[in-house]
């Protein structure tokens, strides 16, 4: 890491440290946009206390963190609670550093790949190609997008366990780019057992390591299943009970807590008749996992890292208990696709969606819960607009990548009957 990036890292840490010592930290820890039943600091604190007093944390409906995470954090929670903000800040900085290294290796790989394919590129595509300066510019943009995004900063100072999810995902992306199969499998298995939805990232993992070998892919699938079983067994050894499965994965799949958040589940399951619950539950969970997996994997089979980025983004939109910290993570990955930005047509629309919906959430929550002059429809309208903005961003990125790939080989100016044609995807 160069001196400038290291200074940015220190500045990002200083910003987090400053805000962690203000009243904003406790306020963010109570906001439903950041703290969900899965990642709330208070719930994790309760889980650690119960575990240390030999009480099953999963016998009630309050704690939903993995037993291994609770056990691993119990010592610092019980003995050095005042230093917890420093731990979260250090982990967040480590996540930023891993993303910097990962994006640097990504650009290096793209340049090598480009040298082999450049002879097939059209003449007017220089601005669409990766250049040597991208080795510095793109990692720096990724670093800044993570360190100084208000969503990641507030998620960190609110002591949400999204910080742990982000570092596990950053480690997974790093191992994926470097080609480390075993760390990839272990990290993905751990995060899948912990929060269910990352299991879809098995697809980019197979695209990187299977290399069109069905037998190799089958073996990797068996190793992944074995890693999941081993992690479940380790959780069992901590608890001496299988209750944690229902308290973690079961809680996520069956969506038992209707606390409002920035997602789409809570409003529908609050309003629907109970006899429709099973049908909608299966539909929503399929939408959040396998519905887009196969078509995206086929289309992006040559771009596994883009596939992983899109899947993480879709998880952040459609999962049962999303938080703004999840959104902040995938937004930090967007600068890696800097060469697609020329064809991203909805930048202003997405920015307007994000700015207005995020600004309205706090006001509409106050009107609904405290002032009593609004209802759930108002708040859900803001969260629905925010999810719509995210979908616009994801589809815009996918369309831009398709247009870039087409123009690299066919040129940016397509002439038909002597006139320049427009490329329109429908």
C-alpha of 192 from chain center: 13
Which residue carries 């616009």 as its tokens? 392
Secondary structure element (H or E) that encloses residue 314, with its range: helix 304-318
Can you tell me the mean pLDDT for 87-97? 96
Can you tell me the mean pLDDT for 153-177? 95
- Of the candidates 289, 390, 288, 386, the residue with the CA atom closest to the CA atom of residue 330: 390
Q: pLDDT (tens digit, 9 = 90+) per residue, 182-235?
A: 999 999 999 999 999 999 999 999 999 987 788 899 999 999 999 999 999 999
Over the Cα atoms of the chain, what is R_g? Answer: 22
Distance CA 189, CA 212 (A): 22
> 175: how many CB neighbours lie within 10 A of its CB?
22
Can you tell me the mean pLDDT for 380-396? 94
- Of the candidates 301, 342, 359, the residue with the CA atom closest to the CA atom of residue 124: 342
Upper half-sphere CA count for residue 107 (Cβ side, 13 Å):
25
pLDDT at 417 over 70: no
Question: What pLDDT score does 211 carry?
Answer: 79
Question: What pLDDT score does 248 carry?
Answer: 92
Distance CA 45, CA 64 (A): 11
Question: What pLDDT score does 102 carry?
Answer: 95
Neighbouring-strand partners of residue 420: 415
Q: What is the largest CA-CA distance in the chain?
A: 80
pLDDT at 425 over 70: no
- Of the candidates 279, 252, 277, the residue with the CA atom closest to the CA atom of residue 263: 252
On the 0-12 / 13-18 / 19+ scale of CB atoms within 10 A, 419 is exposed
Q: pLDDT (tens digit, 9 = 90+) per residue, 40-84?
A: 999 999 999 998 888 899 988 889 999 999 999 988 988 888 899
pLDDT at 415 over 70: no
Instruction: Give yes or no for a contact between 251 and 321, defined as CB atoms under 8 angstroms apart.
Output: no
pLDDT at 416 over 70: no
Confidence of residue 419 (pLDDT cuts 50, 70, 90): low
- Of the candidates 9, 177, 171, the residue with the CA atom closest to the CA atom of residue 105: 177
Q: pLDDT (tens digit, 9 = 90+) per residue, 107-160?
A: 999 999 888 888 888 887 888 888 888 888 999 999 999 999 999 999 999 999
Question: What pLDDT score does 426 carry?
Answer: 58
Instruction: Give yes or no for a contact between 220 and 185, defined as CB atoms under 8 angstroms apart.
Output: yes
Instruction: Give yes or no for a contact between 172 and 184, defined as CB atoms under 8 angstroms apart.
Output: yes
Tell me if residue 73 falls in helix, strand or coil.
helix
């Amino acid at each position: 890491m160069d001196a400038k990036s290291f200074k940015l890292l220190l500045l990002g840490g200083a910003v987090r440290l400053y805000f962690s010592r203000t009243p904003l930290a406790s306020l963010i820890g109570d906001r439903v946009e950041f703290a969900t039943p899965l990642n709330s600091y208070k719930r994790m604190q309760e889980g650690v206390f119960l575990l240390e007093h030999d009480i099953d944390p999963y016998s009630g409906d309050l704690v939903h963190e993995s037993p291994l995470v609770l056990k691993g954090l119990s010592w610092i929670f019980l003995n050095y609670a005042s230093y917890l903000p420093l731990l979260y800040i250090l982990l967040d900085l480590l996540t930023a550093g891993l993303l910097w290294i990962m994006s640097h290796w990504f650009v290096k790989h793209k340049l090598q790949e480009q040298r082999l394919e450049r002879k097939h590129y059209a003449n007017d595509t220089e601005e669409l190609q990766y250049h040597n300066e991208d080795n510095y510019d793109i990692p720096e943009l990724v670093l800044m997008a993570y360190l100084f995004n208000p969503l990641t900063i507030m998620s960190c100072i609110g002591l949400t366990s999204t910080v742990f999810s982000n570092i596990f995902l950053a480690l997974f992306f790093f191992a994926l780019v470097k080609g480390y199969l075993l760390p990839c499998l272990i990290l993905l298995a751990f995060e899948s057992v912990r929060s269910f939805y990352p299991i879809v990232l098995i697809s980019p993992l197979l695209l990187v390591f299977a290399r069109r070998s069905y037998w190799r892919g089958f073996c990797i699938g068996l190793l992944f299943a074995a890693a999941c079983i081993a992690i479940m067994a380790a959780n069992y050894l901590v608890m001496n009970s299988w209750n944690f499965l229902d308290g973690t994965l079961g809680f996520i799949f069956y969506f038992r807590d209707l606390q409002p958040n920035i997602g789409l589940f809570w409003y529908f399951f609050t309003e629907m008749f109970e006899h429709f619950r099973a049908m909608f539950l299966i539909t929503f969970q399929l939408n959040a996992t396998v519905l887009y997996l196969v078509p995206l994997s086929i289309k992006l089979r040559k771009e596994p890292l883009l596939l992983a980025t899109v899947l993480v983004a879709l998880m952040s939109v459609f999962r049962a208990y999303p938080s703004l910290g999840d959104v902040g993570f995938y937004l930090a990955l967007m600068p890696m696709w800097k060469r697609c930005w020329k064809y991203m047509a909805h930048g202003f629309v997405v920015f307007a969606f994000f700015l207005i919906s995020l600004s309205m959430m706090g006001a509409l929550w106050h009107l609904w819960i405290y002032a009593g002059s609004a209802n759930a429809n108002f708040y859900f309208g803001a969260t629905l607009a925010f999810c719509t903005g995210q979908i616009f961003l994801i589809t815009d990125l996918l369309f831009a990548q398709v247009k870039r790939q087409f123009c690299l080989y066919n040129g940016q100016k397509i002439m038909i009957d002597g006139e320049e044609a427009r490329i329109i995807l429908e």
